[in-house]
Amino acid sequence: MAESRILIVDFGGQYNQLIARRVRECGVYSEIHNYDEVDAASVRAFSPDGIIFTGGPQSAYGEGAPSIDDGIFSLGIPVLGICYGAQLMAYRLGGSIDSAPTSEYGRTEVTIDDKGGILAAADDVNTCWMSHTDYISCPPEGFVITAHTDDCPVAGMEDRKRGFYAVQFHPEVNHTEHGAEFIRSFVLDVCGCSQDWQMDSFAETQIQAVREKVGDGRVLLGLSGGVDSSVVAALLARAVGPQLTCVFVDHGLLRKNEADEVSEVFGSGKLFDLNFIRVDAADRFYSKLAGVTEPESKRKIIGEEFIRVFEETAKKIGRVDFLAQGTIYPDIIESGLGKSAVIKSHHNVGGLPDYVDFREIIEPLRMLFKDEVRQLGRELGLPEYLVSRQPFPGPGLGIRIIGEVTAEKVRIVQDADAIYREEIARAGLAGSISQYYAALTNMQTVGVMGDFRTYDHAVALRAVITSDFMTAEAAHLPWEVLDRVMTRIVNEVDHVNRVFYDLTSKPPGTVELE
């Protein structure tokens, strides 16, 4: 495990995960802990090299506002306060906080007054991302003001002797120029962290830890072929290969060739030594879905059937000791910090643990962000197409075929989607689009092909840009690319005579059509 570590104290800010990522991008391990679980004793136990207070929505002086044990300031550990965290630091150490006469939101020109601390990389006037209605009107004793704006007298303050640093703006967001360098300076120069958070050492220590925990026990993993469960499979295979059984349910709603690709990687024995069970259950799912058109009913049927198939297969295996899950850090953070292992219903479509006889859960990725999971996958030798895979919903193509699902419609949407993905890759756009896919609308339209009238299906193309999938906008795909995709789909996919491009943002739309 990494030696150096930064503790991030969460006061409810919206960019907290970004702070943790920025720290890890410096090669330094970080964890986010809720403010009400942090006091001097817990900090001493965690033994961080530095502490970062995040932003938050409240007023530091407001009744019931999140606060912090003052004992933390006496531990001799450097502290960086960001936004609310900066105000809280000022407030607790004897400065003053007031409601700002003018709030600042978004890009703001910040004048840098002192580059002797963490702002060394700043421009003299540095564009920063602000989001605050209170401000520090007077810093505590011992602090110098390092930055200001027209409306904010203390946009930065530092007490280098005691190791206290604060910025009113958000260095963690990309809109703040040199922001990552400010964080880097705090983490490396001020806290003196060594850059020992690397994926190869993480892989090694995790493999070792899993071996110790599992002993000669048996592990079961529901493998979906998505990035997270694939990386868990690879890691467990390296750790306890022959004791691991992966159950891969092909519900007939996967992308073209996906079931074979996953089977080739995990089931062929070429890359990993593990027990692989592939269940071809397409017909079961199609017959359950026959005649069903309502989206939530479809989701429910797919989820329930998935569990049933998994359960039946698991029963054949008998009792297992451990159930492995691909839970990752954002799942843990989003479902509430400090709570015990949460099983996200999205994972492997449904609450599997209730249905399987096992002793304990193992979640080797629970402290990793998605990009770190991908990095780990590469480290473990997974092929790039698996590792860089875009998100794919558990119910699969079932929610990308509007209305009733049939085998024929699955074939159409698989072929159209494969062409779309191929052309996006060929145009070099794959890395810049968050998610893209072809869907099948439930309409037929009139067209003409080779002098004949056609009355066939219409395909919809979707491509979105998003950082968190909570909001998204349609990608501005080059017309030539769309044109080529359209031409290929109508020419190569039987029974499609029309192609639409979905321009809808989220909200009001969602990423998936159902």
| C-beta of 89 vs 511, nearer to ligand XMP | 511
Is 12 a binder of ligand XMP (CB under 6 A)?
Answer: no
Q: How many residues bind ligand XMP (CB under 6 A)?
A: 11
Decide if residue 511 touches ligand XMP (CB under 6 A): yes
> Kindly report the CA angle at 467 between 463 and 470, in degrees rounded to 5?
85
Out of 83, 128, 152, 191, the active site residue is 83
Minimum CB–partner distance for residue 354 and ligand XMP (Å): 18
Between 222 and 393, whose beta carbon lies closer to ligand XMP?
Answer: 393
Q: Is 170 a catalytic residue?
A: yes
Q: How far is the CB of 218 from ligand XMP (least distance, A)?
A: 26
Alpha helices for 427-507 (secondary structure H): 479-492
> Does 447 interact with ligand XMP (rule: CB under 6 A)?
no
Of 508, 510, 394, nearest in space to 462 by CA: 510
At 88, list the tokens.
């809280």
Question: Cα separation of 174 and 84, whole Å?
Answer: 19
- Say if CB 6 and CB 23 are below 8 A apart: yes
The smaller minimum CB distance to ligand XMP, of residues 28 and 513, is found at 513
Question: What CA–CA distance (Å, rounded) separates 210 from 229?
Answer: 16
| Binding segment (CB under 6 A) for ligand XMP, from list 52-60, 116-124, 281-289, 503-511 | 503-511
Matching residue, tokens 């060929």: 426
Comparing CB distances to ligand XMP, the nearer of 13 and 393 is: 393
DSSP 108: E
Examine residue 295 and tell whether it contacts ligand XMP (CB under 6 A). Answer: no
**CB of 350 vs ligand XMP, minimal distance in Å:** 10
User: Does residue 253 sit in helix, strand or coil?
Assistant: coil
**346 near ligand XMP (CB under 6 A):** yes
Check if 172 is active-site.
yes
- 344 or 378, CB closer to ligand XMP? 344
Please state, in angstroms and rounded to a whole number, the distance separating the CA atoms of residues 394 and 254: 9
Does position 469 interact with ligand XMP (CB under 6 A)? The reply is yes
Q: How far is the CB of 172 from ligand XMP (least distance, A)?
A: 23
- Smallest gap, in angstroms, from Cβ of residue 226 to ligand XMP? 8
506 near ligand XMP (CB under 6 A): yes
DSSP state letters, 145-168: EEEE-SS-S-SEEEETTTTEEEES
User: Residue 281's Cα: distance from chain center in Å?
Assistant: 29
Q: Is 327 in the site for ligand XMP (CB under 6 A)?
A: no
Least Cβ distance, residue 505 to ligand XMP (angstroms): 11
Q: Is 274 in the site for ligand XMP (CB under 6 A)?
A: no
Q: Residue for token digits 């429910």? A: 300
- Minimum CB separation from ligand XMP for residue 107, in Å? 28
CB count within 10 Å of CB 480 equals 10
Per CB under 6 A, 359 contacts ligand XMP = no
Q: Does 510 bind ligand XMP (CB under 6 A)?
A: yes
User: Least distance in Å: CB of 512 to ligand XMP?
Assistant: 3
The verdict on 335 binding ligand XMP (CB under 6 A) reads no
Give me the amino acid identity at 226: G
Residue 385 or residue 469: which is nearer to ligand XMP going by CB?
A: 469
Q: By C-beta, is 35 or 420 nearer to ligand XMP?
A: 420
Cβ partners under 8 Å of residue 124, min gap 6:
111, 112
- Residue 391 as a binder of ligand XMP (CB under 6 A): the answer is yes
Active site residue 83: yes
| Interface segment toward ligand XMP; rule CB under 6 A; list 26-34, 389-397, 412-420, 487-495 | 389-397
- Residue 435: half-sphere exposure toward Cβ, Cα within 13 Å: 20
Nearer to ligand XMP by Cβ, of 152 and 439: the residue is: 439
325 binds ligand XMP (CB under 6 A): no
Q: Is 435 in the site for ligand XMP (CB under 6 A)?
A: yes
- CB 50 within 8 Å of CB 191: yes
β-bridge partners, 459: 440, 499
6 close to 21: Cβ distance less than 8 angstroms = no
Run of H or E including 249: strand 244-250
Inter-CA distances, 423 with 186, 258, 428, 432, Å: 44, 18, 9, 14
- What's the CA gap between 331 and 44, in Å, rounded? 27
Q: Which of 139, 140, 394, 398 binds ligand XMP (CB under 6 A)?
A: 394
Q: Are 368 and 376 in contact (CB under 8 A)?
A: yes
Q: Determine the Cα–Cα distance for residues 295 and 10; give it in Å rounded to an integer.
A: 37
* List 393, 409, 410, 490, residue binding ligand XMP (CB under 6 A): 393
- Out of 170, 251, 347, 457, which one is annotated catalytic? 170
Q: Which of 81, 139, 395, 398 binds ligand XMP (CB under 6 A)?
A: 395
Q: Which of 26, 132, 158, 172 is catalytic?
A: 172
CB 187 within 8 A of CB 81: no
Closest contact distance (angstroms) between CB of 338 and ligand XMP is 24
Q: How big is the CA angle at 235 (ends 229 and 237), to the nearest 5 degrees?
A: 100
Interface positions with ligand XMP (CB under 6 A) = 346, 391, 393-395, 435, 469, 506, 510-512
Q: Which residues are catalytic?
A: 83, 170, 172
